[in-house]
Structure 1
Amino acid sequence: MGAKTMNELTKDIKFNVDFKPSEITIQNEEQLNKLVAATVEHYSSLVFTDENIPEAKEAKTKLNGISKLLDDQRKEVKKSYSEPLKAFETKINALRDQIKGVSDNINVGISDYEEKQKELREEKLIETLSEMAPNYGIDIAAVEIKTTWLNKGSFTAKGELTKKVLEEIAGIMTLIAKENQRIKDDKAIIFNYAKAVGLDADGWSSWIDKGHTSAEVMKQIDQAVKDKKAREEQKRIAEEQRIAQEEADRKAKEEYDQEMRKLRERTVDDKVIDTETGEIIQEDTELTRQEIEDTQTYTLKVTGTHEQLSALNKFMGNEGIKVEVI
């Protein structure tokens, strides 16, 4: 069947259902209504006693029978009406399912066609981008493809991108080219600046690739130089302090050794004797015999710090007091 014939069929189709509702009547309906009304009125206000309980039970049995009869009649009528409806629904559903099956197949075909057309548009878009990118000195990978560029409305009837889309792409590529040049220039600035102050030029220039501006990086470089100088000054001060401490320790050791030598020496018969080795160090020509005779000897135990003992020993040496190690 041709497309034109199918369109005419779907346009002109008319569908109606011939349905003639039947009338449902209840025989003796008036008598039934009177019976129900009288029963409701009688038993609604009835006070049950020993005398009327048998009558009430008998009436309940009869009323339940009538109620069941009414319900059975309702079910029978409903069944008679439902069977034609079910048969009708079965026919209609079968026809509907056939139509839906064809419609679904058409929908799949349309989707496949549209997907194929989208792929062709994408191929054309990539081809166009590849042709334009070298003119701006950029890599096509830097261009983020917008989903709207793949819409059917972004292409002409001949399958070419519209002028509006081409202008939009050109504008984006211009911005990318300018940004690439800025990054290149900023990296050169930072490289030379870092190199001039003695820092790692390649390492600092790589900050530009991470999205930082040259002004931000130069500020960080200045701080790094300041920190470096501070560390070097601290290192210099620490070295001077170390040298001074070593000199102080050396002098203190010399004084200590000198004082210990004095403590080990004593004078015997005008001779200075090393009390540990017994060696005669020098003749004592300063003491007179009278001074020797007037000399008194005391045994003392002296306790103090190294500095205090050194000062005491120096004082005794200056006063000519001889010290022996006992």
Structure 2
Amino acid sequence: MANEILTQDVAVDFKTGTIELNNADGLKKLVADYAKKYEKLVVTEESYSDDKKVRTDLNKLKKALEDKRKEIKRAYNQPLNEFESLIKEIEAPIDGVTTNIKEQTDKFDQQAKDRKQQQIQSFIDEVCSNKGISSENIQIDPRWLNKSTSKKQWQEAASNAIEIAEADQQRVKQDIQMVKTFAETIGVEPEGYVYQVKKGSNANDVIQRMQNDLSIKQAKQEARKANTKEVGNKRVDLTTGELENLIKRQILFTGTEKQFEQLKRFMNNNNIQFVEGDK
């Protein structure tokens, strides 16, 4: 139907317009000669007024030519402007219909995308479950939802993403274990450092920060020891004069050798004096 309308009913009586400038060559020569007459003009104090008038006359000449050009352009464009306005008026009923159709087809397209996204997510969840890894951080690429992307293509792309995620999760798991082991070795709480690994830091960097933090803490403890003195059952801060009561208590601990080593490191790190013995 659309082609029939175009071939039968859109008949335009159109003739290519022409614009002729009478005596164009002569006018071009007159203007060029007039401009050339002053191209090497040198303004002096004595000729200032006359030279300024020459510039004014040249600008008037240019304005007259520009005004004529604009006048002819408006007249030449008038039929085109009227034709464009008429075509737009004729097109108007089409816009409302196509907009209505597009809104409805868009709904079907979105429903198809939603179904495809659910299918892809189910595939990712199933593969990850079989591998024993989390699918939480695997993002669906918007390009996988395109109609042009076949099932085979998005499955291959998703499988690659899962393999990358699996390797990354394995690396994080290993890094966490390294950090925990090192934290136990030097007697510090691992939670904060494990969190850094989970947020993207690698084990080597975290272990280096752990060592730096411990060095700073130990330096502070040594400085504190140097500035304190025990007098009887009191501990005196030599800088501020503050007194702290020293308390002695006997506590029986039961644990593994490894746990006792961790406990001793904790007490040393926190300046807690103890006497070791078997009972």
Q: Name the TM-score, length of structure 2 as normaliser.
A: 0.50
The structure number with the bigger radius of gyration is: 1
Q: Name the TM-score, length of structure 1 as normaliser.
A: 0.43
Query: Relative contact order, CA 8 A, sep 6+: which one is greater?
Result: 2
